[in-house]
Amino acid sequence: MQPSVQKVAEIISTDLAMTAKILQVVNSAFFGLVRKINNPKEAVMLLGTETIKALVLSVKIFSQFNQKKFAWFNFDELFNHSMSVSMFAQTISRQEHLDAALVNNALMAGMFHDLGKLILVTNFQEPYQKVLTEAGKTQQNLWDLEFERFGTSHAEIGAYLMGLWGLEYPVIEAIAFHHRPGKSLSNSTGLLTAVHFGDAFDRLKKDPNDLNGKNGLRQLDQGYLDNLGVAGRINDWQTVCNELTERKV
C-alpha cells in the first residue's frame, strides 16, 4: 500500500537537515518549478512519492561524506551530475513510452549510477585519487582505469550495493552496465538505455570545448544502440534533453 502524502511529509519533517536539503533541491533549477515549495508536504504532492523517495535516499547517502576530509573529490559535482542524469533518464523513458514502473525507477537509476565512486573514494583514497588524476590527464575512460587498478569499476560496485539494498533488477542493471550496455543481456530499450544516454549527454553538456558534441557522445555504445534499433533516436533524445536543460536555466 502506498504511504499517504501526509505520512511521508511527516517522516521527512522529523529530520531538519533532510528537510532543508530536500527543499533546496526541489526548489533548484533541476525541477524548474514555477513557484517556491515551502514544506515537505507540498513537495510530495507536487513531485510524487517515487521522486521524493529517490531524493531522500540520495540526500541521505551524500550527506554522510565529509567534503573537508576528502577535499580532493567534489561531492557536490557528483550529486549534481547524478541529479541531471536522473532527470534525463526519466525524460527519455517517457519519450520511449516505457511502462510507469520503469519511468518511476528512472530517477533512482540515474541518481545512483555513480554510487560506486563514493565507495572507491572513501575506501581507496590514495590509489583512487591517482586513477582520477590519470583519467583527467590522459582522457582515458575512467572505468577502464578502474578495472586496471581494482579489477572492477564504480559501475559494478554501485550495482552490487544496490542489489544488497534490494532495489529492482532494471535499476541494478542500468547501474552495472551504464558505461558498457553492450555487455548486458538486455535486448530491449529500457532504463539501461536511458541512463546510458543520459550520462553521456550530461558529460557533453559539461564540456565547453566540445562544441560539436563529438567528445561527450563518443561514450555512447553505438553497437548496442544499433542492435536495439534506436540509434536513429539519438537526435530526438538530444532535443528533449536540451529542452529540459533550457527549462532549468
What are φ and ψ of residue 230, in 5° steps? -120, 10
Question: Who wins on pLDDT, 124 or 217?
Answer: 124
Residues 67-83 have pLDDT tens digits of: 788 889 999 999 999 99
pTM: 0.88
Residues 160-181 have pLDDT tens digits of: 999 998 999 999 999 999 999 9
pLDDT band at 1 (very low <50, low <70, confident <90, very high): very low
Q: What are the residue ranges spanned by the domains of the chain? A: 1-49, 65-248
Give one DSSP letter per residue of 156-218, joined into a string.
HHHHHHHHHTT--HHHHHHHHTSS-GGGS---S-SHHHHHHHHHHHHHHHT-TT-TTSTTTGG
Q: Cα–Cα distance between 59 and 44 in angstroms, integer?
A: 15
> The domain 65-248 belongs to what CATH superfamily?
Hypothetical protein af1432 (1.10.3210.10)
Residue reference for cell 511527516:
10
